[in-house]
């Protein structure tokens, strides 16, 4: 039972990334609800004036969090995303050995991808000499995904917290209500500062650069460079397979 629990929160596995991301998001969301909704003394009065029960707000926030989880887990932004629209996606995909193979042998991207994964998938066999390389490649890729998701959620809740602070100030002025600084403002400011602090620390320790990356991006770069080195030492094998594919296409014409 304990082993299953440990595996479920292992950040180097696909399941672990999903579980840790979901737990982090739900935890931050609950803290947000407590700081910005449940702790506002006049929230019921404020929303009763505009005929919107505060429970509706809590429900909507829960729906938003759930929708964010579905949006993230329904597609892998780093793997399937558009490189021209996302710097993280661009650098993540530029590290792929298949991209190197594409330029190294001057073949089409689809062929390079097929050539690489035909070989890489063989490494999944525990008895293969490159099995550890296969395992490290996957685990480091998942670690990159975890950092990517956490950074985006921290940034999202930071701006959401700032927006709620501004809205609360406006509502308090409109209703001529005394602003409850002593009891609640410190909590909300601490939340916003906490989001900014953790975002800054994680971002600083995992710098995303084409040259000289750090943290998970450095480890991801290292493992892919090993695969690229392996490709260079087995160039003749890839060239042979390309010739076989070409001969097979001519034979079917």
pLDDT digits (tens, 9 = 90+) for 197-242: 999 999 999 988 767 789 999 999 999 999 999 999 999 999 998 8
At residue 11, does pLDDT exceed 90?
no
**What is residue 73's predicted lDDT score, i.e. its pLDDT?**
54
User: Which are the contacts of 17, defined by CB distance < 8 A and separation ≥ 6?
Assistant: 11, 142, 145, 146, 149
**What is residue 38's predicted lDDT score, i.e. its pLDDT?**
62
**What is residue 219's predicted lDDT score, i.e. its pLDDT?**
93
Between 35 and 240, name the one with better pLDDT: 240
Query: Pick from 252, 58, 15: which is nearest to 164 by CA?
Result: 58
**What is residue 64's predicted lDDT score, i.e. its pLDDT?**
63
Q: How does pLDDT run across 68-117, given as a tens digit for each residue?
A: 655 555 567 788 778 788 888 888 988 999 999 999 999 999 999 999 99
pTM for the model stands at 0.77
Between 130 and 58, name the one with better pLDDT: 130
Between 116 and 19, name the one with better pLDDT: 116
At residue 46, does pLDDT exceed 80?
no
Q: How does pLDDT run across 105-164, given as a tens digit for each residue?
A: 999 999 999 999 999 999 999 999 999 999 999 889 988 888 888 898 889 889 988 888
CA–CA separation, 138 and 66 (whole Å): 27
Tokens, residue 148: 């990517």
**What is residue 52's predicted lDDT score, i.e. its pLDDT?**
47
Residue with tokens 């530029």: 94
Residue with tokens 């308090």: 172
At residue 25, does pLDDT exceed 80?
no
Long-range CB pairs of 130-135, under 8 A, 24+ apart, other chains included = 130/230, 133/223, 133/226, 133/227, 133/230
CA–CA separation, 15 and 7 (whole Å): 8
Write down the domain spans for the chain.
2-79+86-252
Long-range CB pairs of 85-94, under 8 A, 24+ apart, other chains included = 87/208, 88/148, 88/208, 91/208, 91/209, 91/210, 91/213, 91/217, 92/144, 92/220, 94/210
Q: Is 55 exposed, middle or buried (0-12, 13-18, 19+ CB in 10 A)?
A: exposed
CA–CA separation, 11 and 144 (whole Å): 9
Inter-residue contact 48 to 177 (CB < 8 Å): no
The proportion of the chain whose per-residue pLDDT surpasses 90, expressed as a percent, equals: 31
Mean pLDDT to the nearest integer, 172-183: 58
**What is residue 251's predicted lDDT score, i.e. its pLDDT?**
46
Q: Is the dihedral of CA 126, 128, 129, 130 positive or negative?
A: negative
Tokens, residue 180: 């409850």
């Amino acid at each position: 039972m304990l082993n299953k629990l440990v595996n479920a929160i292992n950040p180097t596995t696909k399941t672990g990334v999903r579980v840790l991301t979901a737990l982090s998001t739900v935890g931050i969301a609950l803290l947000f609800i407590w700081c910005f909704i449940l702790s506002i003394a006049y929230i019921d009065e404020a929303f009763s004036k505009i005929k919107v029960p505060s429970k509706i707000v809590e429900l909507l926030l829960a729906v938003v969090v759930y929708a964010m989880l579905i949006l993230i887990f329904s597609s892998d932004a780093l793997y399937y995303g558009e490189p021209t629209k996302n710097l993280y996606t661009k650098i993540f995909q530029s590290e792929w050995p298949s991209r190197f193979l594409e330029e190294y042998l001057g073949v089409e991207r689809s062929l390079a991808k097929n050539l690489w994964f035909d070989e890489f998938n063989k490494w999944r066999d525990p008895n293969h000499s490159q099995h550890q390389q296969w395992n490290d490649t996957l685990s480091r890729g998942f670690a990159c995904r975890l950092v990517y998701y956490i950074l985006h959620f921290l940034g999202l809740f930071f701006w959401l917290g700032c927006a709620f602070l501004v809205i609360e100030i406006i509502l308090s002025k409109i209703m001529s209500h005394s602003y409850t600084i002593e009891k609640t403002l410190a909590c909300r400011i601490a939340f916003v500062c906490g989001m900014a602090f953790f975002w800054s620390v994680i971002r600083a320790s995992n710098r995303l650069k084409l040259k000289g990356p750090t943290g998970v991006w450095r480890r991801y770069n290292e493992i892919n460079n090993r695969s690229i080195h392996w490709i260079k030492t087995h160039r003749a094998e890839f060239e042979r397979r390309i010739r076989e594919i070409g001969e097979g296409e001519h034979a079917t014409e």
